[in-house]
Structure 1
Amino acid sequence: MVGYFTIWMALWVVLGAITVTLVVLFRTRWRDVRAWKKCAVLSLWVHVLLACFAMMIRIVSGSAGLGPEESIRIAVAIETITEPAEVVPEESDPEVPPLEESADPPLVAPDEIPLPEEITEPAESALDETIEKVIKETVEQTAEASTPPSPAPPLESPQLLAPPEPAPEAVAQDEPEPAPPEETVVEQTSKEPVEQRTTSPEPSTPRTLPVQRAKARPQIYQQRSQEKRAEALARGGGNEASERAVRSALAWLAGAQSREGHWNASRHGAGTEEVVLGHNRHGAGLKGDTGITGLALLAFLGSGHTHQQGPYAVQIDRALNSLKRVQAPNGALHGDAQIFARMYCHAMASFAVNEALAMSDDQALLPVASRAVSYSLAAQHPVDGGWRYRPGDAGDTSQLGWQLMALKSAELAGVDVPETTWTRIDRFLRHVRRGQYGGLASYTPNSRPSRTMTAEAYFCRQSIAARYRGGIADSAAAEATDSLLRSLPGRGKQNLYFWYYATLALHHAQASIDLPEEHPHRQAWVKWNNALVAELLTSQNNDGSWPADTVWGGYGGRVYTTSMAALCLEVYYRYAPVSETPQQDARPQVARPWRAGGAGRR
């Protein structure tokens, strides 16, 4: 009998340890797991404890027939769980120690746009119905507060969706040879015919957001023109070698395009699981065709090419048409991408469509752009202001950066984005601030800072600085810059995602004509740019592409790495920077209130 007591005591010690472990996991690593899954796991564990307790009582009281009274037999039914609790991975940077989080001032919650309730693994059809309902409600609210535009007149020379002129012997290859732009010809051999050009936006598809027509290419894109590019290139630190690398990259991308107009992610190495930062994403990117198509389009657009003019007009036109065909009725552009890549793909694809519309003012793109914006607005979290893997998920900085750029491009194209959306974005950026002066940033509001998220958040704050009473505090900018310069290109494995945002942020910070050459921002840019150009030019393949052996290259493949590298080298003229008013170096000024009424309203 003593032996039984010993065994049971040991068993209860083990059960107690497991119970404590579960409690700790629910408060730490499994903190973001959905509530119903936590309840299921707790229910299962309580049943196990009750079963063990019942068995112990039976042993202590004795078997039937040993005591003076008849034993009571207890039957315990144990409920089983068919699916384990899902743990959504979070990005972190183990090399950066946790830093003191700056205090956030109290915020007043803005008026909220109705968003879908929290999703618990619904079927795709149910999700589509939910988003469509939310989009309809959002449109009705927006229409009440704005004057609807006049109907669009027919376009005299529409440029979108035309079948390209047939040309002989043009076939996309896995390993294309680099070719000069003027020799790039693509034959229309798609099994699915390309839609004919239309003379006006689709009459059967109502506009989902108020729109004002852009009369000319927005000023922010004007440095991409052939006349102004050389000056911007020389002023920013580019040269003929960097431009030659961009031309080779675009030639490779043109040759790697599929006959249907998109770029096939898996065909060029996407979807290889590399467990980056210790998280298994199950080969995310394998079906991310719309995302890498968006990145490739952005590389062409960043160099001044459009579907209306230039040597790559045919390729860009076919790519835009492929995104139009794959767009869901609710506006989503993620295609068949799996959960970890889905929202990235939608944001990147809509970013490209919106920028193409802003650069060309081709109203045939308007229905695609406005529906994509509506989906993004419905997917934003109503409280923390971010985006993540599914509509309504609590946000992360990585997703927010792409959504912000897509929405900024939409505004430049004339598509209205409610002020509430920008207020929420600002709220999220405040909640992920880290460091002594708030210059660093983390992946989520409850995680540690990382240099990649610091770079992305720095650029995001620059992008919405015009809505502040001033810009970013000098102390916060210096803290962010110092962090980025500690990981110059050429140190360790290439991380084009980090380089992309750090390049945009550092170039923007130094590009004001009011800054003298000896200003720290300009000195930081020279240091970063020299290291970036040297690393990219020496690592480019002979065919014009960049290898996929980078931190995130396994997920996006060579189309991803080539597009991102080209975008880095186009930074000199891609966006004309907006001068900011320097602030006093004081910590309380890191977070600034919004102007009354806000800027940028349509």
Structure 2
Amino acid sequence: MTRRHLHRLLLGAAALALVAVGLLRGAPVVAGNTYRLEGAPDDIYEEIEKIRDRKDVEAAMPLLEAAVEFSDPYLAVAAGEALRAMGEEALSTTLLKDAEFKKWWKKALKAKEDSEQIALAHVLGAWRHPEVDDGIAHLASGRRSVEVQAAGLYMAGRLAPGEGRKFPEAKKAIADGLRKGRNQEILCAAASAAGRWRDKDFEEALVGIVKGDRDDYPGLYAVWALKEIGYDGGISSFVYVASKSPKKTTLQANLKAITELATLKDVDELLGLSRSSKQDLRDAAVLALARLPWRSVRGRLPGQEKPSGAVVTGEKVARPVVEPLPDPKLDVPDKVLDRLIQIVREDSSWEVRDAARQGLLRFGKRAEAKVTAEMPALVNSNNTDAQYTAIELCGRFAVKSAYDDLLKIALYEQKDRALRMFAFRALEGVDPDRAVKDYVEAFRPRPKPKESELSAVRGLGYIRTKASFDALVDLVASVQPYSEDMLREGEFALERLTSHRFGRLRSAWTSWYERVASPFAPRIKEFDRAANRRAAMDKGLFGLTQATERAVEDGLRWLSRQQHPIGVWDGNEKGFGGVVNCEPAYTGLSLLAFLGAGYQGDHGKYNETIRRASEFLAATQFYDGGFPVTGGGDDSWIYAYLIGMAVWGINEAYGLTGDDTLAEPAQWGIDYMVRVQTPGAGWRYGPRYVQSDTSCTSWVLMATKMADMLGLEVAQKSWDGIDDWLERCSLDITGEIEKPEDLSDDYEHEVGIQRQFEAFTSYFELQGKDTRGAQKISMTAVGMVCRFFMGYKRSHPFQIGSANFLIKFTPEWMSGMSQDQNVAWYHYYWYYGTLAMHQMGGKYWRAWNQKIKKMYPEKQRQSPDELRGSWDPDPTVLNGGRIFSTAMSILSLESYYRFSPLLGEKGSDDGHGGGKDAGAPDGGGSGE
């Protein structure tokens, strides 16, 4: 018999008898004077929540007794939070004076099983009662296993000492962990606790860890802790260590110390270091200078009070299409700006030049005069990277004197596609009205257009103004004898400008323009994961079922059990068959799965799981915003996946938890991805890799879009490159246009009726008329998702054509992928296909959902116990292993609520629509 697990009240013998025969399902059970909760984890959690809401002091003792036996840490944390809700005074005068408690307390601290001690640490840390000081210190002292000590230290970090609440013994245990830690798990846990306490007494020990010769993570964790404490002791010692060519782990920690801990007092030392013969030292120094103005705006400089509204966690309205220059109020000498200009002009490293670029952009108006004076001369530099940088800066700073050179590049550059693209975008910033006039004057109706004429039309698609829009509509709707090539280029330009394809009918374009609020600045609207999930569950929206939700919860429970104490997931342990040394990717992906279900890091179920995962990613991030990549170098097939998954995880954690300690790691991650993007294209196996691919690019795109929605800075050139790359990888379907009636905010509206054409996306750039396309099936799903988040609607013929192609390959467990698909990565395909088809709705989602709502619950492992809740990986090479397959399966099942449908452009829908006819089977979606 399965019981609902309520807290136990003393019952009479009659009640006991009733329970024994099963007449009181879920009623309290008494075993002498011992109260216990037991059974299914979700039932236990629900009852703990009820105890917490009632602030039921009588339940305190049975809750403690039960909690140390919980195998899932999130239950122990929930028990501690329930105790905390009862109030310190209430428990001090009842529970803590009870002889039974004192007896239990001694026994619990001496428990033989590590699992009981770990559970106890989670209870005590979440409880935060001053009387638990000795207990948490005992667990964090190292008298037991490494796992117990790490749990004790991590949970000591939650004690949050304050006025009237001191934890002297716990503080001593943290200090001992920093000084005497035997391995990286202990050192990381102690550094985490020190950072959470924000106590300057820990600074000396943390500095020693940074400078010492340690394992992969402790030094990085120590820098994170020093940043949280507000360290302002100068960077000289870190510069000294970094300059001595230490081993890579120590070097990375000290480089990170330079970038993260530098203050205005260190400006002169940073300027000197920017002239070092070692590239990484120059890079760190310049990045440190570049981040000072960003930190001043966000209120993150040591000793600075955070300004109101400094952290942005969502957008209610569209931002300007061209962002204004920032104007930070930061007192730095002009020699800083002079040095940044000099680096753009002279440095041999594109990485260091990018750091200087970031600095000039962030100093904004303060740097305007110097950029205006110096950058035009570099627009025609023989150094291509300096050219790229100068053109971007001229556009962002609206440098009028660069206009003629930029126009020349835009019209006549044919060899370097990226250079021409940068010039297109720069002209929008310099003088958009003049550029539109010059572009229009540059083309004429003729049977065979010049390349410069085609470039002029293409350039109009980069200027987000009404004048440019009107010029393009005039072109495509003209009765003049323009060539088909010109007209098609005009359609492409309109598509880039608006994300729509209405053909060559003027009335369709003007009607659309009149009814949209922000025609050139499509935004992903705000969404509330938790609210979306509740609505989907309550109403059975989109075909969600009880079985799919059970599968999500069982999968998350399995994932939570695989997390290491320091917050990381290792996909290659326990026979999981994953990629070696790929922890940031597995951690970012797993974190996304928890966040996708609406869970958060500051409260609720799995809050400790999420906190440790996001902290791990923030703490172990390298100085430049990247992460350690498999094999130790930058070139690896996992490179862009690892960076994209890790940064996407940080971004979502920042946005959904509101934890402002994640703002900087989120921004630095975006900066890094923009830095290493192949100019004018996407990402692949290393920084500015010679070739891009659609798969790698998709993960980074999603991270940048999440960052943009949160108000973080994403360079426009990054999206321009992605857009151009996707264009090169997509099958052109000119001739098919959008139907105005399909631009509906009603999710129940069917698109694609009686439209049978197909489209697809390839892994690599398509050559000529080759329609085979590498990894054609999975990449078409990827391409659809990318296009949705770049602004396409489900009414777009490319999305309809892609859905028509994919509908032939609806999910079948480990089968069904054959056409132009040399490797069958099923979990990968199902995830992207589910995201894409959910956005399409209608017949597409019905057909797709009928498969996944049965397949995932049926194929989820139920045995053995150590695999229960997981999904088996693909039966092919490089399948990512069990952590990957399980996280991807959970994310697929979260598609019912993870992202609201990106429907029309009025902004009036609630993201749910009806959700029945469009996505659910007959009779609704709440059943099995």
TM superposition score normalised by structure 2: 0.39
Q: Determine the structure 2 residue equivalent to 1:577.
A: 901
Which residue identity is paired with 2:547?
A: A
Tell me the residue number matched to 1:452: 778
Measured in 1, the distance between the counterparts of 2:575 and 2:805 equals 32
Distance in 1, matches of 2:544 and 2:77, equals 20
**CA positional deviation for 1:399:** 0.6
Aligned partner of 1:323 in structure 2 is 617
Q: Deviations over 1:238-262 (max 9, x none)?
A: 0111111101011111111112210
1:191 pairs, out of 156, 170, 186, with 186
Matched with 2:850 is 530
Determine the structure 1 residue equivalent to 2:762.
442
Q: How does 1:23-38 map to 2 (within 5 A)?
A: none
Bigger relative contact order (CA 8 A; separation at least 6)? 1
Contact 1:223–1:232 at 8 Å: present in 2 too?
A: no
Q: Are 1:288 and 1:337, in contact at CA under 8 Å, matched by a contact in 2?
A: no
Question: Is 1:464 equivalent to 2:790 in the alignment?
Answer: yes
Partner of 1:389: 685
Q: Verify: 1:398 aligned to 2:695, yes or no.
A: yes
Shift of 1:540: 0.1
Q: Deviations over 1:377-425 (max 9, x none)?
A: 0111113x21001010121000111000111111122211122211111
- Please say if residues 314 and 710 of structure 2, whose CA atoms lie closer than 8 Å, have aligned partners that are also in contact: no
Checking the alignment, whether the CA contact within 8 Å between 2:533 and 2:897 is kept in structure 1 is: no
Select 1:499's aligned residue among 830, 835, 851. Answer: 830
The structure 2 residue matched to 1:425, chosen from 722, 727, 735, is 722
Q: Is the 8 A contact 2:630 2:638 kept in 1?
A: no
Quote how far apart the aligned CAs of 1:271 are. 5.0
518, 540, 544: which one aligns with 1:234: 540
Name the CA distance, whole Å, in 1 between partners of 2:590 and 2:716: 30
- Quick one: distance in 2 between partners of 1:264 and 1:337? 15
Match among 566, 577, 593 for residue 299 of structure 1: 593
Q: Deviations over 1:97-143 (max 9, x none)?
A: xxxxxxxxxxxxxxxxxxxxxxxxxxxxxxxxxxxxxxxxxxxxxxx
CA distance in 1, matches of 2:811, 2:692: 28
C-alpha change, 1:386 and 1:296, in structure 2 (3 Å) is: same
Shift of 1:489: 1.0
551-560 vs 209-218, greater mean Cα deviation: 209-218
Q: Tell me the equivalent position of 2:312.
A: 214
**Residues 1:477 and 2:799 are matched in the alignment:** yes
Query: Where does 1:272-421 land on structure 2 (aligned, <5 Å)?
Result: 285-336=579-630, 339-383=636-680, 385-393=681-689, 394-421=691-718
3-state SS of 1:191 partner: helix
Deviations 1:316-366 (A, max 9, x none): 111112212321111112444561112211110100100111112211001
Counting matched residue pairs gives 385
Partner of 2:509: none
Q: Aligned-residue CA RMSD in angstroms? A: 3.3
| Residues 223-232 or 321-330, more deviating | 223-232
CA distance in 2, matches of 1:424, 1:250: 36
Whole-angstrom CA distance in 1 between matches of 2:77 and 2:540: 23
How big is the shift at 1:202?
7.3
Letter in 1 for 2:805: S
Residue number in structure 2 paired with 1:548: 872
Measure how far apart 1:473 and its partner are.
Answer: 5.7
1:171-227: CA deviations, max 9, x gaps?
89xxx9x98996895664442224222778675266476876225698533142377
Other structure's SS at 2:683 match = coil
Distance 1:488 1:434 in 2: 21
CA shift digits 1:143-167 (9 cap, x unpaired): xxxxxxxxxxxxxxxxxxxxxx9x8
Q: Residues 179 and 248 of structure 1 are in contact (CA less than 8 Å); yes or no, is this contact kept in structure 2?
A: no
Q: Which amino acid aligns with 1:541?
A: R
CA contact (8 A) 1:307 1:313 kept: yes
* 8 Å contact from structure 1 (residues 216, 361) kept in 2: no
CA–CA distance in structure 2, aligned partners of residues 251 and 376 of structure 1: 32
Preserved contact between residue 196 and residue 228 of structure 2 (Cα < 8 Å): no
Contact 2:794 2:800 in 1 (8 A): no
The verdict on how the C-alpha distance between 1:413 and 1:436 changes in structure 2, with shifts beyond 3 A counting, is closer
Q: Distance in 2 between matches of 1:337 and 1:401?
A: 23
Structure 1 residue 558, shift from structure 2 partner: 1.1
Equivalent residue letter for 2:548: S
CA distance in 2, matches of 1:559, 1:576: 26
How has the CA–CA distance of structure 1 residues 560 and 386 changed in structure 2, closer, same or farther, with 3 Å as cutoff?
Answer: same
- Kept in 2, the 8 Å contact 1:288–1:342? The answer is no
SS of residue in 1 equivalent to 2:587: helix
Which amino acid in structure 2 is aligned with residue 545 of structure 1? Answer: G
Aligned to 2:890: 566
Tell me if the contact between 1:245 and 1:544 (Cα under 8 Å) persists in the aligned partners: no
Task: Choose from 846, 859, 879 the match for 1:539.
Answer: 859
CA distance in 1, matches of 2:668, 2:713: 12
Cα separation, 1, equivalents of 2:656 and 2:779: 29
Q: Is the 8 A contact 1:217 1:359 kept in 2?
A: no
Check the 8 A contact 1:270/1:286 in 2, yes or no: no
Contact kept in structure 2, 1:381 and 1:387, CA below 8 Å: yes
Inter-partner Cα distance in structure 2 for 1:220 and 1:300: 19
Q: Any conservation in 2 of the 1:198–1:364 contact (CA below 8 Å)?
A: no
CA distance in 2, matches of 1:553, 1:255: 26
Partner of 2:404: none
Percent identity of the aligned residues?
Answer: 27
Larger Rg: 2
Deviation at 1:269, TM superposition (A): 4.0
* Matching residue's letter, 2:554: S
Partner SS state of residue 407, structure 1: helix
The one-letter amino acid paired with 1:225 is: A
Greater Cα offset, 541-550 or 454-463: 541-550
CA distance in structure 2 between the partners assigned to 1:422 and 1:435 by the alignment: 20
Query: Does the Cα contact within 8 Å between 1:289 and 1:335 map onto a contact in 2?
Result: no
> TM-score normalised to the size of structure 1?
0.58
What CA deviation, in whole Å up to 9, does each residue of 1:480-518 have, x standing for no partner? 0121111111164470100111111111122xxxxxxxx
8 Å contact from structure 1 (residues 302, 567) kept in 2: yes
Cα deviation for residue 296 of structure 1 reads 0.6
CA distance change for structure 1 residues 181 and 505 in 2, over 3 Å: closer, same or farther?
A: farther
Between the aligned partners of 1:337 and 1:268, the Cα distance in structure 2 is 20
- 2:562 equivalent to 1:256: yes
**1:294 to 1:223, Cα distance in 2 relative to 1, 3 A:** closer
Letter in 2 for 1:529: N
Residue 371 to residue 215, structure 1, CA distance change in 2 (3 Å): closer
Name the CA distance, whole Å, in 2 between partners of 1:328 and 1:307. Answer: 23
Aligned-residue offset at 1:305: 0.8
Say whether the 8 Å CA contact 1:553–1:560 is kept in structure 2: no
Give unmatched runs, 5+ long, in structure 2.
1-63, 80-117, 123-147, 152-184, 199-226, 231-260, 263-287, 299-309, 317-524, 735-757, 816-824, 907-928
